[in-house]
Amino acid sequence: MSDVTNTKRVIPDRLGTKASRILASWEVLLFAVAVAIFVFNALASPYFLDVWNLSDATFNFTEKAMIAFAMALLVIAGEIDLSVAAIIALASTAMGGAAQMGIGTAGLVAIGLGVGLACGAVNGLLVSGLKLPSIVVTIGTMSLFRGISYIVLGDQAYGKYPESFAFFGQGYVVWAFSFEFVLFAALAIVFAILLHATNFGRQIFVIGNNEFAARFSGIPVERVKFILFLLTGLMSGVAAVCLTSRLGSTRPSIAQGWELEVVTMVVLGGISILGGAGTIGGVVIAAFVMGLVTFGLGLLNVPGIVMSIFVGLLLIITIAVPIIGRRIREMR
């Protein structure tokens, strides 16, 4: 491929047309993958293209995606929260205990969200207040939060939630659109606006790209990070309400291993794990991709632990492919 391309490469700062850039973007690639998986599933299983089946399939990712939105902001800012699944366990345990004492639905939701916020505040204080590395801190709080659930529950479980509480995980708003799916869509819009159209969102990107410069630009780095941990805790609380309501029971092992799936979703969505880059749109598409993969494999009777192999591979391959691609381009 000849001189023409060579002369073009003389201009190093040319970015190409806007359309070509959009076509080569991570989100579009991911969307193509999502469509491919959708078509493959539709061909592989006759049960896939059923409205109610598809509606059921959304439960595979809505709760995780709610956390992934907040986690995306946190990862863009250069931090991570591995305690999200443990927060779900603790919030769910608190709601279960409250339900046992006869507290009504509104009270339960308040408790779930409140515990989420409190856990987020603990993480935030440790990371931005005491300036500790978030990976280790949240490994510690992950053990602590789930550990408290184990102390409270042991090998027992809470059941007996009020009937109206079931709406959050099992109710439908209109037709086949579940409450969870509508909430997921609404939160996607809220987070997209927060990240891409507000000062706060810009500050997150600046912190992720260069924390030092952010400080000198007068951005309250610690406060922004604290708010992001609060937000992640709150979204874990929201997910806890939905999941507990959907399952109708609480065990201390609830949502075990979700932190991995949430991080996978975030990274798959094109958020740079090193911070500073990414979009909420990417996370939304990644949520659909993961939901479709697990649901499709489920229809083909693939056991859950084998699905987790696919999730792990998906995580590594989606990060490795662009790196290898860049290497090949640099070699030419």
Partner 1 sequence: MKKLFKHREILLVVIIAIMIAGFATRAQGFAAPGNLANIFNDTSILIILALGQMTVILTKSIDLSVAANLAFTGMAVAMTDAAYPGLPLVLLVVMAIGIGAFLGAINGYLVWALQIPSIVVTLGTLTIYRGMAFVLSGGAWVNAHQMTPTFLNIPRMPLLGLPMLSWIAVAIVIGGWFVMNRLPFGRATYASGGNPTAAVYAGIDVGRTLFFAFVLSGALAGLCGYLWVSRYAVAYVDVAIGFELDTVAACVIGGISIAGGIGSVAGAVLGALFLGVIKNALPVIGISPFAQMAISGIVIILAVVFNARAERRVGRIILRNRAAVEVQA
Please identify, using beta-carbon distances, which residue of 16 and 133 lies nearer to partner 1.
Answer: 133
Question: Considering the complex, what minimum distance in angstroms separates the CB of residue 152 from partner 1?
Answer: 9
Q: Which two tokens stand for residue 28?
A: 């579009």
Site string for partner 1, 308-327 (x = CB under 8 A): xx-xxx-xx--xx--xx---
Contact 251, 90 (CB under 8 A): no
Q: What are phi and psi of 174, to 5 degrees?
A: -135, 140
CA 31-33-35 angle, to 5 degrees, is: 70
**Longest Cα separation, the chain:** 78
**Part of the chain binding partner 1 (CB under 8 A), chosen from 17-25, 110-118, 231-239, 258-266:** 258-266
Note whether 148 binds partner 1 by CB under 8 A.
yes
Single residue of 31, 150, 172, 200 touching partner 1 by CB under 8 A? 150
Residues 183-222 that bind partner 1 (CB under 8 A): 212, 216
Instruction: Give the C-alpha separation, 87 to 84, whole Å.
Output: 5
Instruction: Give the C-alpha separation, 85 to 83, whole Å.
Output: 6
Note whether 328 binds partner 1 by CB under 8 A.
no
Please identify, using beta-carbon distances, which residue of 146 and 225 lies nearer to partner 1.
Answer: 146
The DSSP H or E segment spanning 6 is helix 3-8
**Part of the chain binding partner 1 (CB under 8 A), chosen from 10-18, 36-44, 255-263, 281-289:** 255-263
Q: Which 3 state secondary structure label does DSSP give 13?
A: coil
Note whether 121 binds partner 1 by CB under 8 A.
no
Question: Considering the complex, what minimum distance in angstroms separates the CB of residue 289 from partner 1?
Answer: 16
Cα separations in angstroms, 164 against 249, 314, 325: 14, 38, 52
Q: Which residues have CB under 8 Å from 263's CB, separation 6+? A: 71, 75, 80, 82, 315
Please identify, using beta-carbon distances, which residue of 46 and 218 lies nearer to partner 1.
Answer: 218
Contacts to partner 1 by CB under 8 A: 80, 126, 130-133, 135-137, 139-148, 150-151, 154-155, 212, 216, 252, 257, 260, 263-264, 267, 273-274, 303, 305-306, 308-309, 311-313, 315-316, 319-320, 323-324
